[in-house]
Amino acid sequence: MPTAPTYTRTTTFVGGSTGSPSTWGALRSVIYNRTLSGSPIASSGGVGGHTVDYDHGFQTTNGNGLIRTEGGFLYLGTAGSGPNFNAYITSGINAKFSSDYEASALGWITNEDRAQLTGETVALSSGSITMAASAFVSPFQTFTASSTPTINTIGKLTAF
């Protein structure tokens, strides 16, 4: 089970003070793909620069895959936990599919988005599963996998 990174909210916004920005872009984020290595944020993405390049995550074919969240890079000021999906081996062939760092009623992915995502087909590097509501709540959704999986698609969301 990965360890949650720490973050601080240091984003500067209108008026020069710090706090919670409320602009459209600041309150959106891609869903991170934690089955890929490295930071989802491009190394050139500047903190507080009102710009961010996502190196990997999930996006729709005709859109950008951004979801409404307070876990976005521009909101947090650093690449924090953020909305994400993960799949990993726990022991042997036992594996878990999870949206890490979520709580039952509050998290980076809103309840509305959770409801839409639940039931979607998750295509893994080997095989597929149907996302269950338990993916959002520890101890998360279980499945079996012969090797460490990566997530290719989740319904309309495609890994990039």
Partner 1 sequence: MQINPGYGYSFTSSGGGHNLTIDQPWFPWPIIEEDLPPFTIVDESVGATYKFRAVPGMVNSTIPQIGITADATKRLDQLPIPTTTFNFDATTHYSYIYLKVSWLSGSPDMYPVTDQTDILYPRVISTSMENVSTDDSGYLLLATAYQEPTTNVITIWQLTTGSQWTDRLKTGTDTARYYFATA
Binding site residues, partner 1, CB under 8 A? 13-16, 23-26, 28, 30, 42, 44-57, 59, 64-66, 74, 160
**Which distant-in-sequence residues (6+ apart) come within 8 Å of 131 by Cβ?**
97, 117, 118, 119, 120, 121, 122, 141, 154, 155
- Rounded least distance, CB 138 to partner 1, Å: 28
Round to the nearest angstrom and report the end-to-end CA distance of the chain.
Answer: 23
Q: Judged by CB, which is closer to partner 1: 38, or 49?
A: 49
- Rounded least distance, CB 22 to partner 1, Å: 8
Kind of pairing, strands 94-98 and 84-91? antiparallel
- Rounded least distance, CB 5 to partner 1, Å: 18
Q: Judged by CB, which is closer to partner 1: 52, or 117?
A: 52
